Amino acid sequence: MNPLETRLKTLTLNSPLLTASGTSGTTDEMACLHGARGILRALGAFVTKGVTLRPRPGNPEVRVVETRAGLLNSIGLQNSGVKAFVRNELPKLHAYRLPVIVNISAGSVEEFAELTGHLTRLDQAKRIAGLEINVSCPNIAAGGAAFGADPAMVGKVVRAVRKRARRDMLTITKLSPNVTRIVEPAAAAIEAGTDALSMINTLRGTAIDIGTRRFSLGNRTGGLSGPAIKPVGLYMVGECFRALPECRDGRVPIVGIGGIAAWEDALEYIMAGATAVGVGTAWFVDPHVFVRIRDGLKRYCREHKTALAELRGCAHGRQG
Ligand SMILES: Cc1cc2nc3c(=O)[nH]c(=O)nc-3n(C[C@H](O)[C@H](O)[C@H](O)COP(=O)(O)O)c2cc1C
């Protein structure tokens, strides 16, 4: 038996490792790498970068700034729009022979619904395994505050997507950490019918270039990712696992994301309550990070005669 086998509702994965949205591109980034086949074999599923209804040019440069313990980015969801994505990029992704989960972003509930409609109806989109709903994007109709900051809006978005998505399509709601109590938007997403949760997206932050005496990012602010945010991600996964019965009993699995760079980090997320994990920033540093993490997890399971499924949430003790 494969000790790393993971179930996200209807989707059975050979590995708990997912690409974190926006960090592994959507098309040829993997394929051009030396040893790409090995890297793809270490993955359980491929999560795309954010796709929007219409093409977006993204934010002004500079878009990425390194910090001491991570990365600040303000890409601004640059992408070619859903129709071009389905026509040009999706077929290449399917060639990876991995379940494809499409990360979706929109500026209103209606736009989320329309976008989901395209990803459900278009013939070429039939093989999409799931949708990851990015609720960290700004709600234009509500003056730009992120959907994720308002549990009621999270519920509306999830309901709209669920209504349009194919029944067999996995829906994962990706939560923003820029909130006071992560359990509230998580509970709203569950109530609205999400199949799974993923957390965390980036933490809002900024940097100043003391040479130019200006903000370093063209957009002034961005999102912090990488090792610095791991304790925050772990805490939020643990909180949802502890407080939400659907997460604790596995009906609504959690994908843990944030600062994972080694197998030990991934294992911590599993022990906090995650079923699968996403890796983003670490992949910019070492494209073979997925292979290292997969091998480390396998070794741990072999040495301790266990399986990841048995370790999920164990840090909480028997009472959870
Ligand atoms: C350059 C970059 C682009 C990203 N783009 C997206 C995106 O399009 N949609 C999304 O939901 N998250 C996006 N994220 C957030 C990541 O998927 C992830 O949640 C975050 O970076 C934390 O994980 P990490 O510390 O392993 O990078 C992006 C992150 C980075 C660094």
Q: What CA–CA distance (Å, rounded) separates 24 from 93?
A: 11
Q: What are the residues whose beta carbons fall under 8 Å from the beta carbon of 242, sequence distance 6 or more?
A: 248, 273, 316, 320
Q: What are the residues whose beta carbons fall under 8 Å from the beta carbon of 115, sequence distance 6 or more?
A: 51, 52, 53, 82, 104, 106
Residue 207 tokens read as: 């940097």
Convert the pLDDT of each residue in 180-203 to its tens digit.
999 999 999 999 999 999 999 999
Catalytic residues: 137
Q: Is residue 218 part of a domain?
A: no
The DSSP bridge pattern shows strands 203-206 and 221-225 to be antiparallel
pTM: 0.97
Q: Is residue 243 part of a domain?
A: yes
Three-state helix/strand/coil letters over 248-260: HCCCCCEEEECCC
Q: If we measure between CA atoms, which residue out of 89, 97, 57 comes closest to residue 76?
A: 57
Q: Are 102 and 161 in contact (CB under 8 A)?
A: no
Q: Is residue 50 part of a domain?
A: yes
Print pLDDT tens along the chain (320 aa): 899 999 999 899 999 999 999 998 655 666 666 668 899 999 999 999 999 999 999 999 999 999 999 999 999 999 999 999 999 999 989 988 999 999 999 999 999 999 999 999 888 888 999 999 999 988 887 878 899 999 999 999 999 999 999 999 999 999 999 999 999 999 999 999 999 999 999 999 999 999 999 999 999 999 999 999 999 999 999 999 999 999 999 999 999 999 999 999 999 999 999 999 999 999 999 989 999 999 999 999 999 999 999 999 999 997 54
Q: Is residue 220 part of a domain?
A: no
DSSP 56-72: B--PPSP-EEEETTEEE
DSSP 171-196: EEEE--S-SS-THHHHHHHHHTT-SE
The residue segments making up the domain with residue 91 are 6-59+76-203+225-316
Convert the pLDDT of each residue in 147-168 to its tens digit.
999 999 999 999 999 999 999 9
DSSP 77-92: --B--HHHIIIIIHHH
Which pLDDT value is given to residue 320? 43
Q: If we measure between CA atoms, which residue out of 53, 40, 42 comes closest to residue 86?
A: 53
Q: Is residue 236 part of a domain?
A: yes
Q: Is residue 118 part of a domain?
A: yes
Given ligand 1 and candidates 21, 203, 219, 230, which is best to mutate, with the most ligand atoms within 8 Å of its CB?
Answer: 21
CATH of the domain at 22: 3.20.20.70
Q: Are 157 and 131 in contact (CB under 8 A)?
A: no
Given ligand 1 and candidates 29, 135, 201, 254, which is best to mutate, with the most ligand atoms within 8 Å of its CB?
Answer: 201
Q: What CA–CA distance (Å, rounded) separates 196 from 138?
A: 22
C-alpha 20 to ligand 1 mean position (Å): 6
Which pLDDT value is given to residue 124? 82
Q: What CA–CA distance (Å, rounded) separates 18 from 7?
A: 13
Convert the pLDDT of each residue in 27-71 to its tens digit.
566 666 666 889 999 999 999 999 999 999 999 999 999 999 999
Q: What CA–CA distance (Å, rounded) separates 146 from 86?
A: 26
What's the domain count of the chain? 1
Q: Is residue 219 part of a domain?
A: no
C-alpha 201 to ligand 1 mean position (Å): 6
Q: Is residue 216 part of a domain?
A: no
Largest CA distance in the chain: 58
Task: Give ligand 1 pocket residues (Cβ under 6 A).
Answer: 20-23, 49-50, 71, 73, 75, 77, 103, 134, 174, 201-202, 225-226, 229, 257-260, 279-282
Residue 202 tokens read as: 């980036």
C-alpha 173 to ligand 1 mean position (Å): 14
